[in-house]
Chains A and B, each alone.
Chain A
Amino acid sequence: MIVSVPEQLRYSEEHEWVSGLDGDDGIVTIGITAHAADALGEIVYLELQPSEGDAVEAGEPCGEVESTKSVSDIYSPVSGEVTAVNSAVVDEPKVINDDPYGEGWIFKVRVSDEPGDLLDSVAYEKLIEEA
Protein backbone atom coordinates (compact mmCIF):
# COMPACT_ATOMS: atom_id res chain seq x y z
CA MET A 1 0.00 0.00 0.00
CA ILE A 2 1.35 3.41 -0.92
CA VAL A 3 0.93 6.01 1.78
CA SER A 4 1.44 9.69 1.48
CA VAL A 5 4.68 11.28 2.75
CA PRO A 6 4.32 15.03 2.10
CA GLU A 7 7.55 16.65 0.95
CA GLN A 8 7.24 19.81 3.03
CA LEU A 9 7.15 17.98 6.38
CA ARG A 10 9.93 16.63 8.59
CA TYR A 11 9.71 13.24 10.28
CA SER A 12 10.93 11.40 13.35
CA GLU A 13 12.01 7.79 13.35
CA GLU A 14 9.08 7.18 15.70
CA HIS A 15 6.68 8.13 12.89
CA GLU A 16 5.67 11.62 13.94
CA TRP A 17 5.58 14.46 11.45
CA VAL A 18 6.51 18.09 12.14
CA SER A 19 5.41 21.13 10.15
CA GLY A 20 6.24 24.83 10.42
CA LEU A 21 9.93 24.45 11.31
CA ASP A 22 10.79 27.37 9.05
CA GLY A 23 8.03 29.62 10.41
CA ASP A 24 8.72 32.96 12.10
CA ASP A 25 6.91 32.23 15.37
CA GLY A 26 8.93 29.09 16.22
CA ILE A 27 5.74 27.11 16.70
CA VAL A 28 5.55 23.71 15.04
CA THR A 29 2.62 21.36 14.54
CA ILE A 30 3.01 17.65 15.28
CA GLY A 31 1.02 14.58 14.29
CA ILE A 32 1.55 10.96 13.38
CA THR A 33 2.22 9.86 9.83
CA ALA A 34 -0.18 8.17 7.45
CA HIS A 35 2.08 5.13 7.53
CA ALA A 36 1.80 4.90 11.32
CA ALA A 37 -1.95 5.51 11.30
CA ASP A 38 -2.35 2.84 8.66
CA ALA A 39 -0.21 0.31 10.53
CA LEU A 40 -2.07 0.95 13.78
CA GLY A 41 -5.52 0.56 12.30
CA GLU A 42 -8.51 2.52 13.44
CA ILE A 43 -7.49 4.80 16.28
CA VAL A 44 -9.98 4.72 19.13
CA TYR A 45 -8.20 6.50 21.96
CA LEU A 46 -5.61 9.21 22.27
CA GLU A 47 -3.99 10.39 25.44
CA LEU A 48 -1.59 13.29 25.57
CA GLN A 49 0.09 13.79 28.95
CA PRO A 50 1.22 17.40 28.63
CA SER A 51 -1.34 20.15 28.26
CA GLU A 52 -0.96 23.72 27.12
CA GLY A 53 2.00 25.38 28.81
CA ASP A 54 3.80 22.16 29.74
CA ALA A 55 7.29 21.36 28.54
CA VAL A 56 8.11 18.44 26.27
CA GLU A 57 11.49 16.92 25.51
CA ALA A 58 12.57 15.60 22.11
CA GLY A 59 12.58 11.81 22.02
CA GLU A 60 10.58 11.45 25.24
CA PRO A 61 7.21 9.69 25.29
CA CYS A 62 4.42 12.20 25.86
CA GLY A 63 1.27 10.22 25.16
CA GLU A 64 -0.34 7.06 23.92
CA VAL A 65 -2.40 6.19 20.93
CA GLU A 66 -4.63 3.13 20.98
CA SER A 67 -6.21 1.50 17.97
CA THR A 68 -8.63 -1.36 17.60
CA LYS A 69 -5.59 -3.64 17.31
CA SER A 70 -2.75 -2.21 19.35
CA VAL A 71 -1.32 0.57 21.44
CA SER A 72 1.79 2.72 20.94
CA ASP A 73 3.58 5.63 22.56
CA ILE A 74 3.68 9.09 21.06
CA TYR A 75 7.09 10.75 21.29
CA SER A 76 7.66 14.43 21.00
CA PRO A 77 9.99 15.00 18.07
CA VAL A 78 11.06 18.40 19.42
CA SER A 79 11.78 20.11 22.74
CA GLY A 80 9.81 23.11 23.87
CA GLU A 81 6.54 24.31 25.34
CA VAL A 82 3.17 22.94 24.30
CA THR A 83 1.06 25.79 22.95
CA ALA A 84 -2.00 23.84 21.82
CA VAL A 85 -3.56 20.40 21.98
CA ASN A 86 -6.06 19.34 19.33
CA SER A 87 -9.09 18.56 21.48
CA ALA A 88 -11.03 17.54 18.37
CA VAL A 89 -8.82 14.45 17.87
CA VAL A 90 -8.92 13.64 21.58
CA ASP A 91 -12.71 13.60 21.27
CA GLU A 92 -12.71 11.76 17.96
CA PRO A 93 -9.36 10.05 17.39
CA LYS A 94 -10.46 8.47 14.11
CA VAL A 95 -9.83 11.86 12.50
CA ILE A 96 -6.14 10.90 12.64
CA ASN A 97 -6.84 7.98 10.29
CA ASP A 98 -8.97 10.11 7.99
CA ASP A 99 -6.65 13.10 7.72
CA PRO A 100 -3.30 12.46 9.46
CA TYR A 101 -1.54 15.55 8.06
CA GLY A 102 -4.48 17.96 8.34
CA GLU A 103 -7.39 17.83 10.75
CA GLY A 104 -5.60 14.98 12.54
CA TRP A 105 -2.76 17.13 13.95
CA ILE A 106 -2.17 16.35 17.62
CA PHE A 107 -0.27 19.17 19.33
CA LYS A 108 1.74 22.33 18.75
CA VAL A 109 5.05 23.20 20.40
CA ARG A 110 7.05 26.43 20.66
CA VAL A 111 10.45 24.97 19.91
CA SER A 112 13.17 25.85 22.43
CA ASP A 113 16.15 23.99 20.97
CA GLU A 114 17.13 23.50 17.39
CA PRO A 115 15.60 20.12 16.55
CA GLY A 116 18.21 17.51 15.79
CA ASP A 117 17.69 14.27 13.99
CA LEU A 118 14.53 14.85 11.96
CA LEU A 119 14.24 13.17 8.58
CA ASP A 120 13.20 14.72 5.30
CA SER A 121 10.49 13.03 3.24
CA VAL A 122 12.98 11.03 1.15
CA ALA A 123 14.73 9.64 4.22
CA TYR A 124 11.43 8.88 5.92
CA GLU A 125 10.11 7.09 2.85
CA LYS A 126 13.24 5.00 2.86
CA LEU A 127 12.72 4.24 6.55
CA ILE A 128 9.20 2.93 6.05
CA GLU A 129 10.15 0.98 2.95
CA GLU A 130 12.81 -0.85 4.91
CA ALA A 131 10.56 -1.45 7.89
Chain B
Amino acid sequence: MPADPPAKSAPAATGPRKTPLHDVHQDLGANLVDFAGYLMPLRYRSETAEHQAVRTGAGLFDLSHMGEIFLSGPGAGDALDYALVGKLAAMPVGKARYTMICAPDGGVLDDLIVYRLADTTWMVVANAANADVVRDALAERAAGFEAAVDDRSASYALIALQGPRSQKILEGFTEAPLADLKYYAILAGRVADVDALVARTGYTGEDGFELFVDASDAVRLWKALEGVDGVVPAGLAARDSLRLEAGMPLYGNELTAETTPFEAGLGRVVKLDKPGDFVGRSALAAVAQTPPGRRLVGLVARGRRAPRKGYEVVTSGGAPCGIVTSGAPSPTLGEPIAMAYLDSGAGETGLAVDVRGRNEPVDVVALPFYKRS
Protein backbone atom coordinates (compact mmCIF):
# COMPACT_ATOMS: atom_id res chain seq x y z
CA MET B 1 0.00 0.00 0.00
CA PRO B 2 1.56 3.24 0.95
CA ALA B 3 2.76 5.54 -1.62
CA ASP B 4 0.51 8.49 -1.39
CA PRO B 5 -1.92 8.58 1.49
CA PRO B 6 -1.98 12.15 2.84
CA ALA B 7 0.92 12.92 5.12
CA LYS B 8 0.16 12.74 8.81
CA SER B 9 2.29 14.32 11.46
CA ALA B 10 2.02 14.71 15.18
CA PRO B 11 1.97 18.20 16.64
CA ALA B 12 5.41 19.25 17.80
CA ALA B 13 6.78 22.38 19.41
CA THR B 14 8.13 23.53 16.08
CA GLY B 15 5.41 21.88 14.02
CA PRO B 16 2.25 23.24 12.47
CA ARG B 17 0.22 25.90 14.23
CA LYS B 18 -2.97 24.98 16.04
CA THR B 19 -6.25 26.80 15.54
CA PRO B 20 -8.26 28.03 18.55
CA LEU B 21 -10.47 24.95 18.01
CA HIS B 22 -7.66 22.40 18.15
CA ASP B 23 -8.77 20.76 21.40
CA VAL B 24 -12.34 20.54 20.16
CA HIS B 25 -11.17 18.67 17.07
CA GLN B 26 -9.13 16.28 19.15
CA ASP B 27 -12.06 15.59 21.44
CA LEU B 28 -14.16 14.84 18.36
CA GLY B 29 -11.56 12.31 17.22
CA ALA B 30 -10.64 14.24 14.09
CA ASN B 31 -7.99 13.00 11.72
CA LEU B 32 -5.66 16.02 11.90
CA VAL B 33 -3.21 16.88 9.13
CA ASP B 34 -0.71 19.63 8.45
CA PHE B 35 -2.35 21.88 5.91
CA ALA B 36 -0.57 25.08 4.90
CA GLY B 37 1.27 25.13 8.21
CA TYR B 38 -1.82 24.52 10.35
CA LEU B 39 -2.96 21.35 12.03
CA MET B 40 -6.42 20.98 10.49
CA PRO B 41 -9.17 18.37 10.63
CA LEU B 42 -9.12 16.33 7.41
CA ARG B 43 -12.22 14.42 8.49
CA TYR B 44 -13.97 13.51 11.72
CA ARG B 45 -15.59 10.26 10.67
CA SER B 46 -16.70 9.69 7.08
CA GLU B 47 -15.88 12.50 4.66
CA THR B 48 -18.68 11.30 2.40
CA ALA B 49 -21.21 11.63 5.22
CA GLU B 50 -19.80 15.09 6.00
CA HIS B 51 -20.16 16.03 2.35
CA GLN B 52 -23.76 14.81 2.23
CA ALA B 53 -24.59 16.66 5.44
CA VAL B 54 -23.61 19.93 3.77
CA ARG B 55 -25.65 19.11 0.65
CA THR B 56 -28.77 18.13 2.59
CA GLY B 57 -28.56 19.74 6.05
CA ALA B 58 -25.69 21.60 7.62
CA GLY B 59 -21.96 21.12 8.09
CA LEU B 60 -19.67 22.97 10.49
CA PHE B 61 -16.12 23.87 9.43
CA ASP B 62 -13.11 25.34 11.21
CA LEU B 63 -11.46 27.66 8.69
CA SER B 64 -9.33 29.54 11.18
CA HIS B 65 -6.25 28.90 9.06
CA MET B 66 -7.49 31.45 6.50
CA GLY B 67 -5.84 34.88 6.56
CA GLU B 68 -7.74 38.04 7.54
CA ILE B 69 -5.95 41.18 6.40
CA PHE B 70 -7.53 44.57 7.05
CA LEU B 71 -7.05 47.71 5.00
CA SER B 72 -8.26 50.92 6.52
CA GLY B 73 -7.95 54.63 5.93
CA PRO B 74 -9.23 57.20 3.45
CA GLY B 75 -7.10 55.67 0.68
CA ALA B 76 -7.86 52.00 1.45
CA GLY B 77 -10.31 51.57 -1.42
CA ASP B 78 -7.94 53.08 -3.95
CA ALA B 79 -5.09 50.98 -2.57
CA LEU B 80 -7.15 47.82 -3.13
CA ASP B 81 -8.08 48.89 -6.65
CA TYR B 82 -4.37 49.25 -7.38
CA ALA B 83 -3.34 46.04 -5.60
CA LEU B 84 -6.08 43.68 -6.85
CA VAL B 85 -7.72 42.99 -10.22
CA GLY B 86 -11.28 43.87 -9.10
CA LYS B 87 -13.24 47.04 -8.37
CA LEU B 88 -13.24 47.28 -4.60
CA ALA B 89 -13.34 51.02 -3.88
CA ALA B 90 -16.77 51.30 -5.45
CA MET B 91 -18.41 48.35 -3.69
CA PRO B 92 -21.10 49.16 -1.14
CA VAL B 93 -20.50 48.76 2.59
CA GLY B 94 -21.72 45.34 3.71
CA LYS B 95 -20.93 43.58 0.43
CA ALA B 96 -18.37 40.97 -0.55
CA ARG B 97 -16.49 40.37 -3.81
CA TYR B 98 -14.59 37.40 -5.18
CA THR B 99 -11.34 38.74 -6.66
CA MET B 100 -7.67 37.97 -7.20
CA ILE B 101 -4.26 39.41 -6.53
CA CYS B 102 -1.92 39.03 -9.51
CA ALA B 103 1.79 39.43 -10.13
CA PRO B 104 2.94 42.09 -12.62
CA ASP B 105 3.09 39.32 -15.28
CA GLY B 106 -0.60 38.49 -14.72
CA GLY B 107 -0.01 35.24 -12.82
CA VAL B 108 -2.39 34.63 -9.92
CA LEU B 109 -0.82 35.08 -6.46
CA ASP B 110 -4.06 34.21 -4.67
CA ASP B 111 -7.80 34.27 -5.02
CA LEU B 112 -9.56 36.31 -2.35
CA ILE B 113 -12.85 37.37 -0.91
CA VAL B 114 -12.89 41.07 -0.02
CA TYR B 115 -15.53 42.45 2.34
CA ARG B 116 -16.26 46.14 2.78
CA LEU B 117 -16.96 46.45 6.51
CA ALA B 118 -17.25 50.25 6.78
CA ASP B 119 -16.67 53.41 4.79
CA THR B 120 -12.91 53.20 5.12
CA THR B 121 -12.43 49.56 6.20
CA TRP B 122 -12.06 46.45 4.05
CA MET B 123 -11.24 42.88 5.07
CA VAL B 124 -9.29 40.70 2.65
CA VAL B 125 -9.59 36.96 3.23
CA ALA B 126 -6.67 35.00 1.78
CA ASN B 127 -5.85 31.31 1.55
CA ALA B 128 -3.73 30.13 4.46
CA ALA B 129 -0.82 29.07 2.26
CA ASN B 130 -0.69 32.52 0.67
CA ALA B 131 -1.60 34.77 3.60
CA ASP B 132 1.95 36.00 4.12
CA VAL B 133 2.49 36.64 0.41
CA VAL B 134 -0.80 38.53 0.20
CA ARG B 135 -0.07 40.60 3.31
CA ASP B 136 3.39 41.55 2.06
CA ALA B 137 2.13 42.38 -1.42
CA LEU B 138 -0.71 44.47 -0.01
CA ALA B 139 1.67 46.35 2.29
CA GLU B 140 4.03 47.04 -0.59
CA ARG B 141 1.30 48.04 -3.03
CA ALA B 142 -0.56 50.22 -0.48
CA ALA B 143 2.59 52.15 0.40
CA GLY B 144 1.71 55.14 -1.78
CA PHE B 145 -1.85 55.38 -0.43
CA GLU B 146 -3.40 56.70 2.76
CA ALA B 147 -4.11 53.19 3.98
CA ALA B 148 -2.93 50.97 6.81
CA VAL B 149 -2.49 47.23 6.25
CA ASP B 150 -3.07 45.10 9.33
CA ASP B 151 -2.77 41.30 9.33
CA ARG B 152 -5.21 40.10 12.00
CA SER B 153 -5.12 36.42 10.99
CA ALA B 154 -3.87 35.32 14.40
CA SER B 155 -6.59 37.10 16.36
CA TYR B 156 -9.50 35.83 14.24
CA ALA B 157 -11.14 32.45 14.13
CA LEU B 158 -13.33 31.58 11.15
CA ILE B 159 -16.18 29.12 11.52
CA ALA B 160 -18.39 28.22 8.56
CA LEU B 161 -21.89 26.80 8.75
CA GLN B 162 -22.80 25.53 5.30
CA GLY B 163 -25.85 23.79 3.90
CA PRO B 164 -29.52 24.40 3.17
CA ARG B 165 -30.47 24.38 6.87
CA SER B 166 -27.83 26.97 7.82
CA GLN B 167 -30.07 30.03 8.02
CA LYS B 168 -32.70 28.30 10.13
CA ILE B 169 -30.04 26.99 12.51
CA LEU B 170 -28.20 30.29 12.84
CA GLU B 171 -31.45 32.16 13.48
CA GLY B 172 -31.69 30.23 16.73
CA PHE B 173 -28.59 32.07 17.97
CA THR B 174 -28.95 35.61 16.68
CA GLU B 175 -31.33 38.52 16.28
CA ALA B 176 -29.47 39.64 13.15
CA PRO B 177 -31.73 39.83 10.07
CA LEU B 178 -30.30 36.81 8.28
CA ALA B 179 -33.25 36.49 5.91
CA ASP B 180 -32.31 39.91 4.50
CA LEU B 181 -28.61 39.12 4.26
CA LYS B 182 -27.93 38.41 0.60
CA TYR B 183 -25.39 36.04 -0.90
CA TYR B 184 -21.97 37.78 -0.83
CA ALA B 185 -22.99 40.22 1.91
CA ILE B 186 -21.80 40.69 5.50
CA LEU B 187 -23.09 42.18 8.74
CA ALA B 188 -21.82 42.62 12.28
CA GLY B 189 -23.95 41.01 14.96
CA ARG B 190 -24.12 38.86 18.06
CA VAL B 191 -24.25 35.12 17.54
CA ALA B 192 -24.48 32.78 20.54
CA ASP B 193 -23.49 35.72 22.79
CA VAL B 194 -20.36 36.36 20.78
CA ASP B 195 -19.48 39.35 18.57
CA ALA B 196 -19.29 38.10 15.01
CA LEU B 197 -18.94 39.25 11.45
CA VAL B 198 -21.57 37.16 9.69
CA ALA B 199 -20.96 36.70 5.96
CA ARG B 200 -23.19 34.85 3.53
CA THR B 201 -20.28 33.32 1.65
CA GLY B 202 -18.76 29.88 1.32
CA TYR B 203 -16.85 27.37 -0.71
CA THR B 204 -19.30 24.50 -0.93
CA GLY B 205 -21.88 25.40 -3.55
CA GLU B 206 -24.57 25.58 -0.87
CA ASP B 207 -26.18 28.40 1.00
CA GLY B 208 -24.27 29.11 4.17
CA PHE B 209 -22.49 31.50 6.45
CA GLU B 210 -18.94 32.28 7.45
CA LEU B 211 -18.53 33.66 10.97
CA PHE B 212 -15.44 35.71 11.82
CA VAL B 213 -14.99 35.88 15.59
CA ASP B 214 -12.29 36.67 18.10
CA ALA B 215 -10.07 33.63 18.61
CA SER B 216 -11.04 33.52 22.28
CA ASP B 217 -14.73 33.16 21.36
CA ALA B 218 -14.27 30.34 18.86
CA VAL B 219 -14.90 27.41 21.17
CA ARG B 220 -18.08 28.91 22.59
CA LEU B 221 -19.54 29.58 19.14
CA TRP B 222 -18.49 26.20 17.77
CA LYS B 223 -20.01 24.31 20.71
CA ALA B 224 -23.28 26.21 20.41
CA LEU B 225 -23.62 25.35 16.72
CA GLU B 226 -22.33 21.81 17.05
CA GLY B 227 -24.94 21.20 19.74
CA VAL B 228 -27.76 21.60 17.25
CA ASP B 229 -29.30 18.33 16.16
CA GLY B 230 -28.14 17.45 12.66
CA VAL B 231 -25.14 19.80 12.51
CA VAL B 232 -22.18 17.71 11.37
CA PRO B 233 -18.58 18.81 11.89
CA ALA B 234 -16.89 18.58 8.50
CA GLY B 235 -13.21 18.53 7.56
CA LEU B 236 -11.02 19.63 4.70
CA ALA B 237 -11.67 16.45 2.71
CA ALA B 238 -15.39 17.27 2.48
CA ARG B 239 -14.59 20.92 1.79
CA ASP B 240 -12.47 19.85 -1.17
CA SER B 241 -15.05 17.50 -2.69
CA LEU B 242 -17.81 20.09 -2.15
CA ARG B 243 -15.90 22.87 -3.89
CA LEU B 244 -14.90 20.54 -6.71
CA GLU B 245 -18.54 19.61 -7.37
CA ALA B 246 -19.36 23.33 -7.31
CA GLY B 247 -16.64 23.93 -9.93
CA MET B 248 -14.76 26.32 -7.65
CA PRO B 249 -11.02 26.66 -8.25
CA LEU B 250 -8.47 25.81 -5.57
CA TYR B 251 -5.25 27.77 -5.32
CA GLY B 252 -2.35 25.40 -5.95
CA ASN B 253 -4.50 23.26 -8.25
CA GLU B 254 -6.48 25.30 -10.79
CA LEU B 255 -4.83 28.61 -9.86
CA THR B 256 -1.08 29.16 -9.64
CA ALA B 257 1.43 31.93 -10.26
CA GLU B 258 1.82 30.40 -13.76
CA THR B 259 -1.91 30.72 -14.48
CA THR B 260 -3.79 33.84 -15.52
CA PRO B 261 -7.42 34.39 -14.46
CA PHE B 262 -8.43 34.09 -18.12
CA GLU B 263 -7.07 30.57 -18.53
CA ALA B 264 -8.98 29.54 -15.44
CA GLY B 265 -12.18 30.82 -17.05
CA LEU B 266 -12.33 33.66 -14.51
CA GLY B 267 -11.47 36.58 -16.77
CA ARG B 268 -14.65 38.28 -15.56
CA VAL B 269 -12.97 39.14 -12.24
CA VAL B 270 -10.35 41.23 -14.06
CA LYS B 271 -11.82 44.73 -14.33
CA LEU B 272 -9.82 46.25 -17.16
CA ASP B 273 -12.35 49.10 -17.32
CA LYS B 274 -11.68 50.39 -13.80
CA PRO B 275 -10.09 53.82 -13.51
CA GLY B 276 -6.40 53.94 -12.75
CA ASP B 277 -3.58 51.45 -13.05
CA PHE B 278 -3.36 48.18 -11.15
CA VAL B 279 -0.64 45.59 -10.71
CA GLY B 280 -0.74 43.19 -13.65
CA ARG B 281 -2.89 45.45 -15.80
CA SER B 282 -0.78 45.62 -18.97
CA ALA B 283 -0.02 41.89 -18.94
CA LEU B 284 -3.67 40.99 -18.34
CA ALA B 285 -4.91 43.45 -20.99
CA ALA B 286 -2.67 41.67 -23.50
CA VAL B 287 -3.87 38.23 -22.38
CA ALA B 288 -7.49 39.36 -22.69
CA GLN B 289 -6.88 40.14 -26.37
CA THR B 290 -5.38 36.76 -27.26
CA PRO B 291 -7.11 33.40 -27.25
CA PRO B 292 -6.02 31.56 -24.10
CA GLY B 293 -3.31 28.94 -24.58
CA ARG B 294 -5.25 26.45 -22.53
CA ARG B 295 -8.64 26.28 -20.95
CA LEU B 296 -10.10 24.84 -17.79
CA VAL B 297 -12.77 22.19 -18.37
CA GLY B 298 -14.85 19.77 -16.35
CA LEU B 299 -14.43 16.02 -16.88
CA VAL B 300 -16.68 13.16 -15.92
CA ALA B 301 -15.13 9.69 -16.04
CA ARG B 302 -17.15 6.88 -17.61
CA GLY B 303 -15.50 4.25 -15.44
CA ARG B 304 -15.01 4.09 -11.71
CA ARG B 305 -11.44 5.35 -11.58
CA ALA B 306 -10.97 8.98 -10.59
CA PRO B 307 -8.65 11.25 -12.54
CA ARG B 308 -6.30 12.87 -10.00
CA LYS B 309 -4.21 16.01 -9.89
CA GLY B 310 -1.24 15.69 -12.23
CA TYR B 311 -2.66 12.90 -14.42
CA GLU B 312 -2.39 13.46 -18.17
CA VAL B 313 -5.37 13.98 -20.44
CA VAL B 314 -4.85 12.17 -23.75
CA THR B 315 -6.57 12.14 -27.14
CA SER B 316 -8.15 9.04 -28.67
CA GLY B 317 -4.79 8.55 -30.38
CA GLY B 318 -3.05 8.57 -27.01
CA ALA B 319 -1.34 11.95 -27.45
CA PRO B 320 -1.08 14.14 -24.33
CA CYS B 321 -3.41 17.14 -24.60
CA GLY B 322 -3.90 18.40 -21.07
CA ILE B 323 -3.41 17.94 -17.37
CA VAL B 324 -5.81 17.19 -14.51
CA THR B 325 -5.77 19.81 -11.74
CA SER B 326 -8.29 18.28 -9.29
CA GLY B 327 -10.26 15.06 -9.30
CA ALA B 328 -12.23 12.83 -6.97
CA PRO B 329 -15.21 10.53 -6.81
CA SER B 330 -18.23 12.83 -6.60
CA PRO B 331 -20.49 11.83 -3.72
CA THR B 332 -23.44 13.74 -5.22
CA LEU B 333 -23.09 12.54 -8.82
CA GLY B 334 -21.90 9.06 -7.90
CA GLU B 335 -19.15 9.12 -10.53
CA PRO B 336 -15.59 10.44 -10.68
CA ILE B 337 -15.24 14.11 -11.67
CA ALA B 338 -12.26 16.30 -12.40
CA MET B 339 -11.12 19.69 -13.57
CA ALA B 340 -8.36 19.82 -16.15
CA TYR B 341 -6.50 22.23 -18.38
CA LEU B 342 -6.86 21.30 -22.05
CA ASP B 343 -4.24 22.55 -24.49
CA SER B 344 -5.45 25.02 -27.09
CA GLY B 345 -6.57 23.15 -30.14
CA ALA B 346 -7.43 19.98 -28.24
CA GLY B 347 -10.86 18.66 -29.15
CA GLU B 348 -13.40 17.76 -26.52
CA THR B 349 -14.44 14.33 -27.75
CA GLY B 350 -12.78 10.96 -27.47
CA LEU B 351 -10.62 12.06 -24.54
CA ALA B 352 -9.23 9.85 -21.82
CA VAL B 353 -7.19 10.30 -18.68
CA ASP B 354 -4.09 8.24 -18.07
CA VAL B 355 -4.91 6.65 -14.71
CA ARG B 356 -1.68 4.98 -13.67
CA GLY B 357 -0.93 3.65 -17.12
CA ARG B 358 -4.48 2.89 -18.23
CA ASN B 359 -6.48 5.26 -20.43
CA GLU B 360 -9.86 5.78 -18.80
CA PRO B 361 -12.42 7.49 -21.07
CA VAL B 362 -13.82 10.84 -19.93
CA ASP B 363 -16.45 13.27 -21.19
CA VAL B 364 -15.99 17.03 -21.17
CA VAL B 365 -18.85 18.73 -19.35
CA ALA B 366 -19.77 22.30 -18.47
CA LEU B 367 -18.81 23.53 -15.00
CA PRO B 368 -20.09 23.43 -12.32
CA PHE B 369 -20.85 19.73 -11.86
CA TYR B 370 -23.38 20.59 -9.20
CA LYS B 371 -25.66 23.57 -8.79
CA ARG B 372 -27.99 23.93 -5.84
CA SER B 373 -31.66 24.03 -6.77
Contact = CB atoms under 8 A, between A and B. Distances in A.
Interface string A25-38: 00000001000101
Interface of B: 1-6, 8, 29, 31-32, 42-43, 46-48, 237, 241, 304-306, 308, 328-329, 331, 356
A44 B1 contact: no
Given A1-B29, A14-B2, A69-B6, A44 B308 contact: no
A45 interface: yes
Interface stretch (A71-79, A109-117, A118-126): A71-79
Given A45-B304, A68-B241, A68-B329, A36 B48 contact: no
**Smallest CB-CB A-B distances: 9 pairs:** A39-B5, A15-B1, A44-B329, A36-B1, A72-B1, A72-B3, A40-B5, A70-B4, A14-B1
B241 to A, nearest CB: 7
B305 A38 contact: no
9 contacts: A1-B31, A14-B1, A15-B2, A44-B329, A65-B1, A66-B305, A68-B47, A69-B237, A70-B308
B8 A39 contact: yes
A53 interface: no
A119 B65 CA distance: 39
A44 B43 CA distance: 16
Given A65-B1, A67-B5, A71-B4, 17 more contacts: A1-B32, A14-B1, A36-B2, A38-B31, A39-B8, A40-B1, A41-B5, A41-B237, A42-B47, A68-B329, A69-B5, A69-B6, A69-B328, A72-B1, A72-B2, A73-B2, A73-B3
Given A1-B29, A1-B31, A68-B329, A42 B1 contact: no
A44 to B, nearest CB: 5
B339 to A, nearest CB: 16
Given A41-B42, A41-B43, A68 B1 contact: no
A91 to B, nearest CB: 12
A105 B94 CA distance: 55
Contacts of A131: 8
A45 B5 contact: no
A131 B305 CA distance: 28
Nearest to B43: A41
Nearest to B328: A68
B155 to A, nearest CB: 30
A71 B42 contact: no
B29 A70 contact: no
A97 B306 CA distance: 19
A16 B1 CA distance: 7
A44 B31 CA distance: 18
B5 A72 contact: yes
Q: Interface residues of B: mostly helix, strand, loop or mixed?
A: loop
Contacts of B6: 39, 41, 69-70
Interface string A70-103: 1111110000000000000000000001000000
Contacts of A64: 356
Nearest to B46: A42
Contacts of A71: 4, 306, 308, 356
B6 to A, nearest CB: 6
Contacts of A42: 46-48
Contacts of A39: 5-6, 8
B372 to A, nearest CB: 21
Contacts of A73: 1-3
Contacts of B1: 14-16, 32, 36, 40, 65, 72-75
Contact of A36 (B5, B241, B306, B356): B5
Nearest to B1: A15
Nearest to B26: A1
A98 B328 CA distance: 21
Interface centre among A39, A69, A75 (most CB of B within 10 A): A69
B3 A68 contact: no
Contacts of B304: 44-45
Contacts of A16: 1
Contacts of A97: 46
Contacts of B5: 36, 39-41, 67, 69-70, 72
